[in-house]
Amino acid sequence: MTYPGALHYIFHRGLEGKDVFFANQDKMTLLDNMKRKSAQLRIKIFAYCITDNDYQLVIENTSGRMSDFLKNLNGEYGMYYRKQFGGKGVVFYDRYHSALIQNQDYLKAAIAFVLLTPMREGVVEQIDEYLWSSVSEYFRKKHSGVVDVESVNRLFGSKTKFFRYIQSQLGKELPRFRSKTGYIVGERSFLDEAVKKYKDFMAAGGSAGLNAVTKVEKKHFESPEKVMNRFELEKGIELDKLDLHTYKGKRLRAELLVYLKERAGLTYPRISKIPLFHDLKVASLGRIYQEAKKRLQKQVPESKEA
């Protein structure tokens, strides 16, 4: 269960619990892929830890495309692994473990749990001794760009408070429970709210709607502002003066919807928050997108014939 903006704890282990990271280069390859794919698919990473046989993440499903991110991340590392070490088939278990995080208090607990992994497993005595977690990313001038250090720094406030909180979590398990719709890090009262957000996401097209964007996305998305500015230039209009009471105004808005979805990678819930779309229900945007997409596709051969 997920939706745009959802916080998640992710755990993925090597197939049959076997080691899948044998050298520093292997872990660096995963990190490089993680940095690239999180930027492409707009997934915010708060923390990571890579051990010899698994990796853990704390992320925000910023774009609603968490499953695409993990599928690409695991697939690319799998190809690298087979090229290096031979063999056939998948490298990780088919299904990753995901737990939905309730709020910032539980987000802090999840970050601490991930960073404390090397200490729990007896690999190091202090968390900052371990090289393959994001602990070295925070509170320093230079960082890899994998994690959103600014958000984590704001969350904890200072380096002293950060390490004090991490130490306070030593020996504690992640406070999670299993529901019919998946694992939750938080309280049971959060479940109803999470289910509602998930249903709204699915009503707006869910993963099916996002997959349509996946097929056309071969590079980084543009910012929504840039897409809208370019749309104004191409159409010779000003969006804030668009008359939505006319057929032309509604048609242009529908075409902008296609641009925002495919060129900016926005989900329907995010598009609905743009003032131009405020009067439309999220559930109706999928139909409008499909109709506008068909019209635009018909215009291409017509323009070639002309």
Q: Is the pLDDT of residue 302 over 90?
A: no
Mean per-residue pLDDT, 36-65: 92
- 7-200 maps to which CATH number? 3.30.70.1290
For the stretch 86-107, pLDDT in tens is 877 777 876 788 999 999 999 9
pLDDT greater than 90 at residue 206? no
Indicate the range of 130-144, 187-201, 241-255, 285-299 predicted with least confidence.
Answer: 130-144
Q: What is the mean pLDDT of the chain?
A: 85
Is pTM beyond 0.75 here? no
Provide the pLDDT for residue 303.
41
User: What pLDDT is recorded for position 52?
Assistant: 92
Q: Rounded distance, CA 2 to CA 4, Å?
A: 7
* Least confident among 23-27, 117-121, 205-209, 228-232: 205-209
User: What's the confidence (pLDDT) of residue 305?
Assistant: 46
Sequence-distant (≥ 6) Cβ neighbours of residue 143 within 8 angstroms: 137, 149
pLDDT confidence of residue 95: 74
Work out the number of other CB atoms within 10 angstroms of the CB of residue 55. Answer: 28
Report d(CA 130, CA 107) in Å as an integer: 21
CB 208 within 8 A of CB 290: no
Taking the C-alpha atoms of residue 267 and residue 202, their distance in angstroms, rounded to an integer, is 11
Reduce the secondary structure of the chain to three states and give it as a string.
CCCCCCEEEEEEEEHHHCCCCCCHHHHHHHHHHHHHHHHHCCCEEEEEEECCCEEEEEEECCCCCHHHHHHHHHHHHHHHHHHHHCCCCCCECCCCEEEEECCHHHHHHHHHHHHCHHHHCCCCCCHHHCCCEHHHHCCCCCCCCCCCHHHHHHHHCCHHHHHHHHHHCCCCCCCEEEECCEEEECCCCHHHHHHHHHHHHHHCCHHHHHHHHHHHCCCCCCCHHHHHHHHHHHHCCCHHHCCCCCHHHHHHHHHHHHHHHHHCCCCHHHHHCCHHHCCCCHHHHHHHHHHHHHHHHHHHHHHHHC
Q: Taking residues 162-178, report their average pLDDT.
A: 91
Decide: 104 and 112 in contact? Cβ < 8 Å: no
Q: How many residues are given for the chain?
A: 306
Q: Are strands 54-60 and 176-179 parallel, antiparallel or unpaired?
A: unpaired
Write down the pLDDT at residue 207. Answer: 53
